Amino acid sequence: MGIDGIRPFLLFVLLLLLRACFSINADDTLSKGQPLSAITKDIISSKNGTFELGFFEAGTTSKFYLGISFKLLMRPRIVWVANRENHLSNPSTSRLEFSEDGNLVLLEASSKKPIWSTSLQNLPSNSTEAALLDDGNFVLRDRSDPSTLFWESFDHPTDTWLPGGKLGIDKVGKVPKQLISWKNSEDPSPGLFSLSLRMEPNGSPVYILEWNRSQVYWSTGVWNGNNFASIPEMRRNYIYNYSFYSNENETYLTYSLYNASFISIFLLSYTGQVKQQAWRHDPSDSSGFSWYLFWVQPKSLSEVYAFCGPFGIYQVNANTSCDCPKGFEPFSDNQIRLEDWSGGCLRRQPLQCENRNAKNDWFQKIPNITLPINWKAYSAMSARRSYTHNSNGCLIWEGALLNMQRPWDGGKVGQDIYLRLSADERQISTKGTKWKVWVIVAVLVAATGLILCLYVCFSIKRKLKHKGQTAASSNDLMLFDVSTEIHAIGDGTNSQDNDKKRGKKDVELPLFSYGSVLAATDSFSTANKLGEGGFGPVYKGKLLKGQEIAVKRLSRRSGQGLEEFRNETTLIAKLQHRNLVKLLGCCIEGDEKILIYEYMPNKSLDFYLFDPAKKKMLDWGTRIHIIEGIAQGLLYLHQYSRLRIIHRDMKPSNILLDSEMNPKISDFGMARIVGDNAIQANTNRIVGTFGYMSPEYAMEGLYSIKSDVFSFGVLLLEIVSGKKNTGFYNHGSLNLLRYAWELWRDDQSLELMDSTMGYPTSTSTLVRYINIGLLCVQENPADRPSMLDVVSMISNEHVPLLTPKQPAFTAGRNPTINLAENCSINTVTFSAMEAR
């Protein structure tokens, strides 16, 4: 025992020593005679230590791989895998070394052929070496001339596209440089999803997402010289510099980061979605950092081809993304944990159709789902496996069903489908029902009696206890009277007065029953859907008195507890101002969390501002009025003493308009209502909106009231110009902010004004507004005015204006600014990306 105990320790020390020696010799390069061995956990580290090449185990599967990892504060991330098709099973005999002919080979004693190799011909066999470069590229090169690269890992990406990497095709070797997803979160072997370049017949390039290299389910649209048709936001933004190259040897897309210290990757996730993620400051994480999602396509897993596999049913906003129909079970036990539903669901009992003597199969009704995509239309009812029928006839499926979806919000109308099941399955569900029914009836009768008794006792007790006091029970939304509620609370023009009033008689936020919310919204019918916000869909509801309300149904995955949710909504409801949308009440029942707002008949600002025809309805007077209103609302949020709210997602679609075109800010306080952590934990929620996010928030996750001031500045310039910051292609300028600044600098500000509108009576006011807008979008948060300053500049023509500094829209500028909180703010370029 004693010796056994000592031995591992010695071995450990020995390993440490070996490793120390090894690292001294070969920090970023590997040359002949110096194999990289798995048992001693050898690694190669890039010069500045950002990337490491070494062996790793996939989960706890005893499958080993050679890969490159991004070293991030205890959370290394695998960005490249050499042998994803053939795993290593015995690390003690595995090593990476040079073969006689100068190629890199990955060997395992038990196998005769190399597990993986660079397989090149005509290499100068004695003078090759391998190196891991600072950008994460692992290269095979000539020792005497390091600039000659024979092979590079960037030409063979796995699921991750690093800055500097290429995505496209090599016309000479005909090798696609494509991303292929991992099988699941733990298995790097090639999954079913791929992102690759396809040349259209007319020669224009398109990137497509495919399932099993055969079914296209998303595409970027064609390249128009600047950007891809379906991704206008990729063109010129302040973070990523994309370039597309095509010559006789290769065609590819590459990108770089304007600021090399910003960490961002692009990957094809095992869920079949392409994601752009950034490693950002995150105070809620123990390490102080976490991955933020910047952009994702397709937005919903329901759009990923066969995400739930054969017979799997996709369910929105439930605990698990997929489910199996009755009579079916998940293909493997792990698929829920690994989120890998490629196996789908299997019949618990095999069909008997081929067996003549057997009992007949039957069809089980699966109610209320969206139909699978792979149907065949038949006129006759010769159903073999699965069918549905409606007035249009009968649809039949043979083989597996794909992309079924269970509606949860009435967004898509469900239909019934009939699935063929084994006769045994029917027996299971009906066997012995007779005696079971009796038992159930008996139990029910007993239970009902007991419950009734308890209820009576309890109500009596409660009545005694809470005499005179109203309990927080739920109300009927249908009977609610919006107008009396609003008047009772006051019109909010003077917040201090209102505070005092409320202090005496604290307004309790009404709690409504789920049933009454269903009644008001017609069971969340599609016809009543107003839109889809970042936190869930919004519906129009109608009360008995004919008044209208807006109902926001929050996504169920938000992780906040009921108590906190209730507290936060009550706090938010106390914010009352004429330029804020009023929160009238909420509904919490089971998994459902619903917010009830006043209804705004004139939709949102973006509905008018960016529509060539409708923008004419916003004359200059209205626009000025809207800008003033937004400024007032934001000032109130920022200055309100008891509860300072940073909005974090100010954009035109969050500015609603009432019947008199008064602007009202919506979605404020959502970070509090939903719970800050939930926003970050939900990887499918994009934090903020690109075109409106201040650089320090977008790149470092630092937000303050000055981030809202930045977004306000963008909004102001958009309202004046009638142009979208993200879709701005004019005059060769990068974006609206740069264009505005250049015009201002050249004393041409009037050029910015919406040309469809004709000149306003007072041009000086608009020039003044543009100046204020430019002050708000300055790069350094400390230079931006507060909303109090903004409001005084807007409302008083005599307040002198400062000269704005150039907004951050070009790369390579480098003053480092220190905030009071001692956070360095980075200083790169400008806004043009929007993730919607």
Ligand X SMILES: *[C@@H]1O[C@H](CO)[C@@H](O)[C@H](O)[C@H]1NC(C)=O
Residue with tokens 């994009």: 686
Encoding tokens for residue 594?
């619903």
Q: Which stretch binds ligand X (CB under 6 A): 248-256, 437-445, 468-476, 482-490?
A: 248-256
Q: Which stretch binds ligand X (CB under 6 A): 259-267, 383-391, 707-715, 752-760?
A: 259-267
Encoding tokens for residue 121?
């011909």
816 binds ligand X (CB under 6 A): yes
- Closest approach of ligand X to the CB of residue 548, in Å: 21
Residues 98-127 that bind ligand X (CB under 6 A): 125-126
Q: Please state, in angstroms and as integers, the Cα–Cα distance from residue 525 to each residue in 223, 511, 680, following that order.
A: 38, 22, 30
Q: Between 154 and 262, whose beta carbon lies closer to ligand X?
A: 262
Asked if 196 contacts 176 with a C-beta cutoff of 8 angstroms, the reply is yes
Between CA 47 and CA 57, with CA 51 as vertex, the angle to 5 degrees is 140
State whether residue 123 is helix, strand or coil.
coil
* Candidate residues 60, 147, 243, 379; the one interacting with ligand X per rule CB under 6 A: 243
**Sheet with 376-378, side-by-side order of all strands:** 362-369, 415-421, 386-390, 393-397, 376-378
Query: Which is the catalytic residue, given 28, 187, 340, 649?
Result: 649
Phi first, then psi, for residue 632 (nearest 5°) are: -65, -45
Q: Between 588 and 753, whose beta carbon lies closer to ligand X?
A: 588
* Candidate residues 319, 484, 748, 818; the one interacting with ligand X per rule CB under 6 A: 319
132 binds ligand X (CB under 6 A): no
Q: Between 127 and 349, whose beta carbon lies closer to ligand X?
A: 127
State whether residue 55 is helix, strand or coil.
strand
226 binds ligand X (CB under 6 A): no
Residues 686-745 that bind ligand X (CB under 6 A): 700
Question: How far is residue 172's CA from residue 175's CA, in Å, rounded to a whole number?
Answer: 8
407 binds ligand X (CB under 6 A): yes
**Parallel, antiparallel or unpaired: strands 583-589 and 592-598:** antiparallel
Question: How far is residue 830's CA from residue 728's CA, in Å, rounded to a whole number?
Answer: 13
- Closest approach of ligand X to the CB of residue 698, in Å: 11
Site string for ligand X, 652-691 (x = CB under 6 A): ----------------------------------------
Give the E-state strand segments of 616-674 in sequence order.
655-657, 663-665
**Parallel, antiparallel or unpaired: strands 386-390 and 536-542:** unpaired
* Candidate residues 181, 302, 826, 831; the one interacting with ligand X per rule CB under 6 A: 826
**Closest residue to ligand X using C-beta atoms:** 826
List beta partners, residue 593. 588
Q: Which stretch binds ligand X (CB under 6 A): 257-265, 270-278, 445-453, 680-688?
A: 257-265
Q: Which stretch binds ligand X (CB under 6 A): 44-52, 139-147, 148-156, 605-613?
A: 44-52
* Candidate residues 69, 118, 259, 666; the one interacting with ligand X per rule CB under 6 A: 259
Binding-site residue total for ligand X (CB under 6 A)?
A: 35
- Closest approach of ligand X to the CB of residue 248, in Å: 6
Question: How far is residue 604's CA from residue 666's CA, in Å, rounded to a whole number?
Answer: 10
748 binds ligand X (CB under 6 A): no
* Helix (H), strand (E) at residue 701: none
Q: Which stretch binds ligand X (CB under 6 A): 46-54, 108-116, 199-207, 507-515?
A: 46-54
State whether residue 512 is helix, strand or coil.
strand
**Parallel, antiparallel or unpaired: strands 250-257 and 167-170:** antiparallel
* Candidate residues 101, 135, 142, 676; the one interacting with ligand X per rule CB under 6 A: 135
Number of Cβ within a 10 Å radius of residue 345: 24
76 binds ligand X (CB under 6 A): no
181 binds ligand X (CB under 6 A): no
* Candidate residues 158, 271, 403, 827; the one interacting with ligand X per rule CB under 6 A: 827
- Closest approach of ligand X to the CB of residue 262, in Å: 6
Q: Which stretch binds ligand X (CB under 6 A): 104-112, 245-253, 745-753, 777-785?
A: 245-253
424 is catalytic: no
50 binds ligand X (CB under 6 A): yes
Encoding tokens for residue 523?
């069971």
Closest CA to 639 of 788, 770, 766: 788
Asked if 139 contacts 153 with a C-beta cutoff of 8 angstroms, the reply is yes
Question: How far is residue 341's CA from residue 183's CA, in Å, rounded to a whole number?
Answer: 10
* Candidate residues 3, 48, 360, 496; the one interacting with ligand X per rule CB under 6 A: 48
* Candidate residues 224, 226, 300, 368; the one interacting with ligand X per rule CB under 6 A: 368
414 binds ligand X (CB under 6 A): yes
Q: For helices 787-795 and 705-721, what crossing angle results, to 10°?
A: 30
* Candidate residues 90, 241, 349, 806; the one interacting with ligand X per rule CB under 6 A: 241
Question: How far is residue 817's CA from residue 505's CA, in Å, rounded to a whole number?
Answer: 47
Residue with tokens 């792990």: 334
Q: Between 411 and 510, whose beta carbon lies closer to ligand X?
A: 411
Catalytic residues: 649
Residues that bind ligand X (CB under 6 A): 48-50, 125-126, 134-135, 212, 241, 243, 247-249, 256, 258-262, 319, 367-368, 407-408, 410, 414, 523, 700, 811, 814, 816, 824, 826-828
